[in-house]
C-alpha cells in the first residue's frame, strides 16, 4: 500500500494521509462478488478511468473523459460487451451514465471484472458521489461530492482502491 492508494477501513477510506467517510454496497464486502448481489468486491482494484459530466462540472483531472447522452454501461451477462462502456443504441440491459441525479457527475472506474469480464461476476464497480451519508450503494464506493472531487484531483497513475476481505 502507498499513500496514493484508497484503502477502505472501518472508519472510511484512507487516502493521501486523510480519512474520508464513504458508503459501500448494501450487503457489505464480498470475496465472491456476483452480478446484482449488492456487495462491494474485496481485493485490490486498479483505477482505470475517470468519467465526468462536462455540462455540470469542470474537467476534474487531465485523464478524465466526458460522459455524453449516448454513454451506457452494460450489465447484461449475455452481452458480449458485458461490464464495458457502450453507446446507444444498445439492445442489452445497461445502466445509463448520463443521469438526472448527480451520482455519476464524476465516476472513477475500477478494473473489477474488467477488461475481459467473466459473465455474472459483477459489473460497474465505480467510485462515485453518494446519495447521502449512510445510504448504501449497489456495490460501488461512494463519497460526498466535495470529498470525491478532492480525491479525483489528487489521484496519481497507479492509484488503487483496496477493499480488505470480509
Sequence-distant (6+) residues with CB within 8 A of 41 are 29, 30, 31, 33, 112, 113, 122, 125, 139, 163
Where do the structural domains in the chain lie, given as residue ranges? 6-63+102-163
In this prediction, the residues of the chain whose per-residue pLDDT falls under 70 are 166
For 20-54, the pLDDT digits (tens) are 999 999 999 999 999 999 999 999 999 999 999 99
Alpha carbon of 148 to those of 86, 89, 111, 115: distances in Å? Answer: 24, 30, 18, 24
**Quick one: pLDDT at residue 36?**
93
23-27 long-range contacts, CB within 8 A, separation 24+: 23/130, 23/133, 23/134, 23/135, 23/136, 23/137, 23/141, 23/142, 24/136, 24/137, 24/139, 24/140, 24/141, 24/142, 24/163, 25/136, 25/137, 25/138, 25/139, 25/140, 26/136, 26/137, 26/138
Say yes or no: domain 6-63+102-163 is CATH 3.30.465.10.
Answer: no
**Quick one: pLDDT at residue 157?**
81
Q: What is the pTM (predicted TM-score) of this model?
A: 0.95
What does the block give as the cell for 101?
441525479
**Quick one: pLDDT at residue 166?**
58
Amino acid at each position: 500500500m502507498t499513500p496514493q492508494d484508497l484503502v477502505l477501513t472501518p472508519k472510511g477510506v484512507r487516502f493521501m494521509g486523510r480519512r474520508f467517510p464513504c458508503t459501500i454496497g448494501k450487503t457489505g464486502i464480498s470475496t465472491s462478488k456476483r452480478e446484482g448481489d449488492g456487495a462491494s468486491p474485496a481485493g485490490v482494484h486498479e483505477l482505470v478511468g475517470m468519467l465526468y459530466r462536462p455540462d455540470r462540472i469542470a474537467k476534474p483531472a487531465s485523464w478524465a473523459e466526458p460522459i455524453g447522452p449516448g454513454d451506457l454501461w452494460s450489465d447484461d451477462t449475455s452481452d458480449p460487451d458485458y461490464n464495458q462502456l457502450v453507446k446507444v443504441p444498445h439492445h442489452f440491459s445497461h445502466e445509463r451514465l448520463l443521469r438526472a441525479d448527480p451520482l455519476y457527475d464524476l465516476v472513477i472506474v475500477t478494473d473489477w471484472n474488467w477488461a475481459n469480464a467473466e459473465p455474472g461476476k459483477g459489473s460497474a464497480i465505480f467510485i462515485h458521489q453518494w446519495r447521502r451519508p449512510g445510504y448504501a450503494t449497489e456495490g460501488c464506493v461512494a463519497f460526498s461530492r466535495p470529498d470525491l472531487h478532492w480525491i479525483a484531483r489528487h489521484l496519481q497513475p497507479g492509484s488503487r482502491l483496496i477493499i480488505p476481505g470480509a
